[in-house]
Chains A and B, each alone.
Chain A
């Protein structure tokens, strides 16, 4: 068989189809439309069944903890009467140390049920350890493919730790240097082994998080007698936000504001060998968050089930210095030491809490484990070795790849809003590059995808000379 780059990439669809056990074609119709909800019912799991599976395999039912001191600190810089209560869902306590265990639990359960001998996932994040841990429970073999080193073999400390964790759970770790061709090796491995593609972006990878949304609603009612006003989700590939929002919607009629938060890594190219070790966050950042929200189907399956634009009400960024600062504050003010990347949404919540009244509730829906390498101390040390300047000042002066700026006073921690209307337009622009004609069904689909209405989509379509068929 020809295993050249181009040849393997040309076999992509056929390899994918076999490795996820899903016929994506059945959900496609018209020019752009696909039946998202039908795809999300793949496997016919109810949320109750998902929770039962997770309960059986060391996942879920994590505690919701109130961060009273962090909220008190936010109130020090809020207007009188403002500064909402802040809660964190301590997802670090799942087996394998992050909410990703929820996603892996359903993928591995399904892989076992379908008779696969093993699972493969392409991830440099916590998902690797999650899949390795769940695979161990099911007696499945496991391969994790990581982008880990630059071309000099210098590894990002956070990713090296994740490799160790995967190996601790018995997985084989295939480590690669920087580049999008990781997908090429991933396809070759799927073809060679016939294992299940435990992608983050299959319906299983998303439905596993719906339980998190549901638990947040239940926990909050028990702890406070009320429902949350705002839930903040760290956003990268979009799955975390999508699954959490879906779980919330399934659990309450109250409209709860869903906020996505990413670390601002503007200016650093994700596929650049030089930039790779200049970033101090390897996930939860804009380098994934923005491309994936604009084009969710750039993932490793034909149709991604992670579609953040459908659910996001507000999208903010925070800077690296702010996230490290809040990570340290969580440790010394709340006595909870956790990994920095998971605290991206906590940094945002610290600022957003100041917009809400004291009796209102913000939930930060995850934490992640910490360890050597995967710790703000390790990341900052690595940054300094790579010539990044670390200082106290105004975090809005931070230049990703050049500086990390700690706030010199807590009022300088500011979540910055991204323009969601322009993001929605960019999403549509990408869709319109695929067709010159739209059906009515496509219009409805695009309105759902962008959480807008048919008028918004039609007005945008006109700008690109897209014809609407059967317009009524």
Chain B
């Protein structure tokens, strides 16, 4: 059970495929337009319940509860070795072969 007033994220279908704009590329046309919003949960609920939240600007939005205390988990990604080759290339070009090792 997720308690009322918890900080959560919800997901909602804004437009179903048949309600979407005309002239969309095929891949976009066949999927719904989705929305994600964060806010404070108005009532106790469980993940996947349809709930209403109050956002930080005081608006109300309803949708499927998907996460509690949604975190920022984006990173610098996996290491890309090519970037180090760029370092070698530009340093050796400017400062000589010492940087080419």
A residues touching B (Cβ–Cβ < 8 Å)?
4-5, 69, 72-73, 76, 118, 141-143, 148-149, 151, 153, 155, 157, 160-161, 164, 167, 170-181, 184-185, 192-193, 269, 271-275, 324-325, 328-329, 332-333, 372-373, 375-382, 384-385, 390-392, 406, 409-410
Residue of A172, A173, A384, A390 ringed by the most chain B CB atoms within 10 A: A172
Q: A148-B36, A392-B85 are in contact. List 9 more A-B contacts (CB 8 A).
A: A151-B31, A160-B74, A172-B56, A178-B28, A272-B28, A329-B90, A332-B90, A373-B75, A378-B75
Cβ of B80 within 8 Å of any chain A Cβ, yes or no, is yes
Which residues, 24 to 76 on B, are CB-close (under 8 Å) to A?
A: 24-25, 27-28, 31-39, 55-59, 72, 74-76
Contacts of A273 in B (CB 8 A): 25, 27-28, 31
Residue on B with the closest CB to A120? B57
Complex-state Cα separation, A181 to B79, whole angstroms: 36
- Known contacts A5-B15, A118-B57, A325-B86: A377-B80 contact under CB 8 Å: yes
Contact at B37–A174, with CB atoms within 8 Å? Answer: yes
Shortest C-beta distance, B23 to chain A (Å), equals: 9
Contact at B80–A333, with CB atoms within 8 Å? Answer: no
Contacts of A390 in B (CB 8 A): 80, 82
Contacts of B35 in A (CB 8 A): 174-177, 185
Complex-state Cα separation, A272 to B27, whole angstroms: 6
- Known contacts A164-B74, A329-B90: A175-B33 contact under CB 8 Å: no
Contact of A72 among B25, B28, B76, B94 (CB under 8 A): B94
Complex-state Cα separation, A135 to B87, whole angstroms: 40
Contact at A333–B91, with CB atoms within 8 Å? Answer: yes
Q: Closest 9 A-B residue pairs measured CB to CB? A: A381-B77, A151-B31, A373-B74, A272-B25, A177-B34, A273-B27, A175-B36, A378-B77, A274-B27
Residue on A with the closest CB to B34? A177
User: Chain A contact residues: over half helix, strand or loop, or mixed?
Assistant: mixed
Shortest C-beta distance, B32 to chain A (Å), equals: 7
Complex-state Cα separation, A185 to B77, whole angstroms: 31
Contact at A269–B25, with CB atoms within 8 Å? Answer: yes
Complex-state Cα separation, A177 to B11, whole angstroms: 11
**Sample of 6 A–B contacts (CB below 8 Å):** A164-B72, A176-B36, A273-B31, A378-B74, A380-B77, A384-B80
Contact at B82–A193, with CB atoms within 8 Å? Answer: no
Contacts of A142 in B (CB 8 A): 57
Contacts of B34 in A (CB 8 A): 149, 151, 153, 176-177
Cβ of B1 within 8 Å of any chain A Cβ, yes or no, is no
Contact at A172–B55, with CB atoms within 8 Å? Answer: yes
Contact at A328–B14, with CB atoms within 8 Å? Answer: no
Residue of B21, B36, B78, B86 ringed by the most chain A CB atoms within 10 A: B86
Contacts of B76 in A (CB 8 A): 372-373, 375, 377-378, 381
Shortest C-beta distance, B67 to chain A (Å), equals: 11
Contact at A177–B77, with CB atoms within 8 Å? Answer: no
Complex-state Cα separation, A430 to B45, whole angstroms: 53
Contacts of B24 in A (CB 8 A): 179-180, 271
Complex-state Cα separation, A181 to B94, whole angstroms: 49
Contacts of A185 in B (CB 8 A): 14, 35
Shortest C-beta distance, B25 to chain A (Å), equals: 4
Complex-state Cα separation, A372 to B75, whole angstroms: 5
Contact of B91 among A170, A181, A274, A332 (CB under 8 A): A332
Contact of B77 among A4, A179, A382 (CB under 8 A): A382
Complex-state Cα separation, A181 to B31, whole angstroms: 13
Contacts of B59 in A (CB 8 A): 143, 172, 192-193
Cβ of B19 within 8 Å of any chain A Cβ, yes or no, is yes
Complex-state Cα separation, A466 to B94, whole angstroms: 58
Complex-state Cα separation, A185 to B59, whole angstroms: 14
Shortest C-beta distance, A168 to chain B (Å), equals: 9
- Known contacts A164-B74, A179-B28: A380-B21 contact under CB 8 Å: no
Shortest C-beta distance, B97 to chain A (Å), equals: 14
Contact at B83–A181, with CB atoms within 8 Å? Answer: no
- Known contacts A179-B24, A273-B25, A273-B27: A151-B32 contact under CB 8 Å: yes
Shortest C-beta distance, A385 to chain B (Å), equals: 8
Contacts of B58 in A (CB 8 A): 141
Contact at B57–A157, with CB atoms within 8 Å? Answer: no
- Known contacts A179-B21, A377-B80: A328-B32 contact under CB 8 Å: no
Shortest C-beta distance, A423 to chain B (Å), equals: 23
Shortest C-beta distance, B98 to chain A (Å), equals: 14
Contact at B93–A73, with CB atoms within 8 Å? Answer: yes
